[in-house]
Amino acid sequence: MEGVRVIELGTLLAGPFSGRLLADFGAEVIKVEPPGKPDPMRNWGQEKDGVGLWWPIQSRNKKSVTLNLRVKEGQRVLKDLVKEADILIENFRPGTMEKWNLSYDELSKINPGLIMARTSGFGQTGPYKHRAGFGSVAEAMGGLRYVTGFPDRPPARIGISIGDTLAALFSTIGCLTALHERKRSGKGQIVDTAIYESVFGVMESLIPDYLLAGYIRKRMGNILPGVAPSNIYLTKDETYIVIGANADGVFRRLCEAMGKPELADDPKFATHSARGQHQKELDDRIEQWTQTLDAEKVLSVLEEKGVPSGLIYSAKDIVEDPHYQARDMIIHTEHPRLGEFPMPGIVPKLSRTPGKVQFVGADQIGEHNDEIYRDLLHYNREKLETLKNQKVI
């Protein structure tokens, strides 16, 4: 992505995560924050020595500038930045950019090749477009929370901000697609990503299940109805492990590992459909076996037989796992206040042009003001001082 310049106006999660992904692979991402009003993400998550531990990851490889978009002079500065940009990312409520005279129509007059990634709760059109839309609400309306949790308890949430992250992934795909198309047309376009649609987009056969089969998916705990065996199982040393053996060949290997090869030919378990109909009985049989062995032994036997299985990892397990280490999935970068800073590595792995984390997120708001405004936009010292005095930057 070297040579691609991105202006990131969003805050918190959905917009900035797109910026992070593009920056991981070499795009120059310029993070814009209002002067005196830093992105709240700077203080999210756990803290160490007054440093929020989420921010250095979310904003890695990004340059930080300050700019007040609510005033005309700030809007003029942004337009100068847009002249030099390929992509602009924003995740404000629809209508905000238009209120600031920064609509796509206005910006594309300045830069016809501009790609504008707009991520919001409900999208730029439709009756809900003006609603405030955090990821939590979008996860609920996208169908995810209805199927998450156990049937005898209220709907649960996944322990991360999955809605925002999914939206960012779809926005990034949109940006890359638009960049590719621009090579032919020379024109930019809007990438309109709704968080609820990003959640809904990964909900598998939820809708035809309902409209064609009359089936509404519900909360089922650790199983997928009709997909068996695929569950967590308790071992002798009171450790839960995951086993996924729902394909016919894999199930046969699981039966051999259990010392019960005959189960693979039992009419109740011989086919995918039969195993789904007898899911509870099958899970009980498997757990009867896993409870006779410690987790390490169960996993060893399953690995030998080629049955997908594993522990349920905590952060401690991840840090200590040799496979994570071998694939550089925990990397260390220097932080100006904390020293060596650990963070997730880059996904996916490109064989010839891999991404790279060059630096953690800017520790100080506006850290790159001089570099961007003076060196990129060629503002002189007098203009920079005027902008500072007017609190535009």
> Annotated catalytic sites, by residue?
164
Strand (E) positions, the chain? 5-8, 28-33, 47-48, 51-52, 62-66, 87-90, 115-120, 190-194, 230-234, 240-244, 309-311, 330-335, 339-344
Cα–Cα distance measured from residue 393 to residue 385, given in angstroms and rounded to the nearest whole number: 9
Q: What does the angle CA 88 – CA 93 – CA 99 come to, to the nearest 5 degrees?
A: 80
Task: Quote the tokens at residue 222.
Answer: 């650790």
Task: Quote the tokens at residue 141.
Answer: 């309306």
Distances (CA, A) of 125 to 82, 89, 94, 129, 222: 24, 18, 9, 6, 36
Cα–Cα distance measured from residue 58 to residue 46, given in angstroms and rounded to the nearest whole number: 14
* Residue 358, Cβ density class (10 Å: 0-12 exposed, 13-18 middle, ≥19 buried): exposed
According to DSSP, the residues that pair with 18 across neighbouring strands are none
The alpha carbon of 187 is separated from its chain's Cα centroid by a whole number of angstroms, namely 28
Residue closest to 194 by CA, chosen among 267, 286, 126: 126
According to DSSP, the residues that pair with 167 across neighbouring strands are none
